[in-house]
A = this chain, B = another copy of it.
């Protein structure tokens, strides 16, 4: 028996429940056509009516025949918990440092003989240093050795020190972290920056030593690889698919997709709303203060 029908989904959890309810054993997606085989032999085709549904992609990538490299600490077919953990990016998400990093990179690249317009550097900020240099070089047609790439990163670090006195916490950053701590919501920080430069930002936020911080030094690959967020979830002892990644750059959101976490984009890094939505953001807010006002939209029930 086959039924074909069209549904318009306004609340994504609906689809999640439908799929869970049907105990699907097969899930094929092509052109947003999802086929679900039920335990009692009814086959259903669902043509998804929305443009980008994070949970659909999420589900598709989690189907049983997918090669899944994630560490498995719990039963992965379990429903998301009612109170998720938060994995925060740092620059542009909690501290207002993106534009200073961008100009520091411009200086470093020029000192290394590479001329690149500032907006192109901005679009790559938040990647791992190595991938960042590769991406910039792809745009310029240049090639550099590993030693030169390392030197560019050193030059950037030196230039950034001249800008760091201009860096401030983003509006609501401290309040958001305090709120989560008081509400017993687990949170951690996962940054593509190295410990040295991250320390300056952590001091600005008044972050204590007992908060889990994952820096570039602690994982093999940085964003857009998922390693930083996976390590942060592991350190919190929470499931990655019970976690919400909060970031300002498309690299945070792409890494969140690869880690199978839900993601929230913040405009405070200077990217456009549509760029963040296209990179997979479940929701986009202005800054940490705006996220704090809308925590109920991302699973934190403020009235409980």
Q: Chain A residues in contact with chain B, CB under 8 A?
A: 96, 98-100, 102-103, 106-107, 115, 117-119, 122, 163, 166, 168, 170-171, 267-275, 287
Is there an interface contact between B269 and A272, defined as CB atoms closer than 8 Å? no
Residue of B nearest to A275 (CB): B272
Residues from chain B with Cβ under 8 Å of A102 in the complex: 99
A172 nearest CB across to chain B (Å): 10
8 contacts between A and B (CB under 8 A): A96-B119, A98-B118, A99-B102, A99-B119, A103-B103, A119-B267, A119-B268, A272-B274
- 9 closest A-B pairs (Cβ-Cβ)? A272-B272, A274-B274, A119-B270, A99-B118, A272-B275, A96-B117, A119-B268, A96-B118, A122-B270
Is there an interface contact between A166 and B106, defined as CB atoms closer than 8 Å? yes
Residue of B nearest to A271 (CB): B272
In angstroms, Cα B103 to Cα A166, docked, is 9
A91 nearest CB across to chain B (Å): 11
How many identical chains are in the complex?
2
Residue of B nearest to A140 (CB): B171
Residues from chain B with Cβ under 8 Å of A99 in the complex: 99, 102-103, 118-119, 122
Residues from chain B with Cβ under 8 Å of A163 in the complex: 103
